[in-house]
Amino acid sequence: MKRDDKTVLEVSALENGTVIDHIPAGSLFKIINILSLDNITNRITFGTNLESKRIGTKALIKIADMEVDRHYLSRIALFAPEARLSYIKNFEVAEKIKLTVPDTIEGGVRCANPVCVTNHEKVTPKFDVVDKSDITLRCRYCEKITTTDQFEIIK
Amino acid sequence: MSKSLVSISDFNKEEILKIMELAAHFESNPGEQLLHGRVFATLFFEPSTRTRLSFESAINRLGGRVIGFSEAGNTSVSKGESLHDTVKMVSNYCDLIVMRHYIEGAARYASEVASVPVVNAGDGSNQHPSQTLLDLYSIKKTQGRLDGIHIVMVGDLKYGRTVHSLLQALSHFGARFTFVSPEELKLPDEYKIFLRDHGMKFTETTDMREAIKDADILYMTRVQRERFSDLMEYERVKSAYVLKADMLRGTRDNLRILHPLPRITEIDTDVDADPKAYYFEQARNGVFTRQAIISYLLGVK
Ligand SMILES: [Zn+2]
- Shortest distance between the Cα of B185 and any Cα of chain A, in A, equals 18
List of chain A residues whose C-beta atoms are within 8 Å of the C-beta of residue B81: none
Residues B205 and B256 both lie in one domain: yes
Note the pLDDT of residue B58.
Answer: 97
> Which position has the higher pLDDT, A130 or A53?
A130
Residues B95 and B141 both lie in one domain: no
Note the pLDDT of residue A108.
Answer: 86
pTM score of the predicted model: 0.88
Residues B117 and B141 both lie in one domain: no
User: To probe the interface with A, which of B45, B104, B125 has the most A CB atoms within 10 Å?
Assistant: B104
Cα–ligand 1 centroid distance for B8 (angstroms)? 17
Cα–ligand 1 centroid distance for A143 (angstroms)? 6
> Which position has the higher pLDDT, A6 or B263?
B263
Per domain, the residue ranges of chain A are 2-98, 104-150
SS3 B60: helix
Note the pLDDT of residue B240.
Answer: 85
Note the pLDDT of residue A10.
Answer: 46
Q: How confident is the model at residue A4 (pLDDT cuts 50, 70, 90)?
A: low
Q: Residue B109 and residue A139: Cβ atoms within 8 Å?
A: no
Q: At what angle do helices B189-197 and B161-170 cross, to 10 degrees?
A: 10
In a domain, B262, yes or no: yes
In a domain, B3, yes or no: no
- Chain A interface includes B72 (CB < 8 A): no
Note the pLDDT of residue B190.
Answer: 87
- From the first residue on, what is the mean pLDDT of each consecutive set of 10 residues in chain B (301 residues)? 92 98 96 95 95 97 96 74 94 97 96 98 94 98 97 94 94 96 91 94 95 97 85 84 95 97 92 97 96 97 85
Mean pLDDT of chain A: 88
Note the pLDDT of residue B237.
Answer: 83
Residues B146 and B258 both lie in one domain: yes
In a domain, B243, yes or no: yes
CATH of the domain at B236: 3.40.50.1370
Q: Residue B124 and residue A120: Cβ atoms within 8 Å?
A: no
In a domain, B23, yes or no: yes
Cβ pair A63, A11 in contact under 8 A = no
Which residue on chain A is closest to B8 by alpha carbon? A143
Q: Which of B82, B105, B190 sits opposite A116 (nearest CB)?
A: B105
Note the pLDDT of residue A12.
Answer: 64
Number of independent structural domains in chain B: 2
Residues B264 and B290 both lie in one domain: no
Residues B260 and B157 both lie in one domain: yes
Q: Residue A118 and residue B102: Cβ atoms within 8 Å?
A: no
Note the pLDDT of residue B194.
Answer: 93
Q: Residue B104 and residue A121: Cβ atoms within 8 Å?
A: no
Under DSSP, the state recorded for B188 is P
Residues B86 and B52 both lie in one domain: yes
- Per the structure, the complete domain to which residue B294 belongs is given by 8-127+286-298
Is CATH 2.30.30.20 the right assignment for the domain spanning A104-150?
yes
- Chain A interface includes B158 (CB < 8 A): no
Question: What is the layout of strands, in order, in the sheet containing B118-123?
Answer: B65-69, B39-44, B96-101, B118-123
Q: What is the largest CA-CA distance in chain B?
A: 58
User: To probe the interface with A, which of B99, B100, B101, B108 has the most A CB atoms within 10 Å?
Assistant: B108
Residues B171 and B72 both lie in one domain: no
Across residues A56-79, what is the average pLDDT?
92
In a domain, B292, yes or no: yes
A31-62 residue pLDDT tens: 999 999 998 999 999 999 988 887 788 999 99
Q: Which of A113, A122, A140 sits opposite B108 (nearest CB)?
A: A140
In a domain, B2, yes or no: no
Q: How confident is the model at residue A110 (pLDDT cuts 50, 70, 90)?
A: very high
Residues B26 and B144 both lie in one domain: no
Closest CA to B172 of B290, B9, B3: B9
Q: Which of residues 20-79 of A touch B (CB under 8 A)?
A: none
Is CATH 3.30.70.140 the right assignment for the domain spanning A2-98?
yes
In a domain, B1, yes or no: no
Kindly tell me if the per-residue pLDDT of A9 is higher than 70.
no
Closest CA to A150 of A98, A112, A108: A112
Residues B61 and B134 both lie in one domain: no
Residues B186 and B267 both lie in one domain: yes
Q: Residue A143 and residue B7: Cβ atoms within 8 Å?
A: yes
Please state whether beta strands B150-154 and B176-180 pair in parallel, antiparallel, or not at all (unpaired). Answer: parallel
In a domain, B138, yes or no: yes
User: Is residue B164 left, alpha or beta, with left meaning phi > 0 and alpha meaning psi from -120 to 50?
Assistant: alpha
Residues B143 and B276 both lie in one domain: yes
d(C-alpha B153, C-alpha A139), whole Å? 26
Q: Residue A143 and residue B126: Cβ atoms within 8 Å?
A: yes
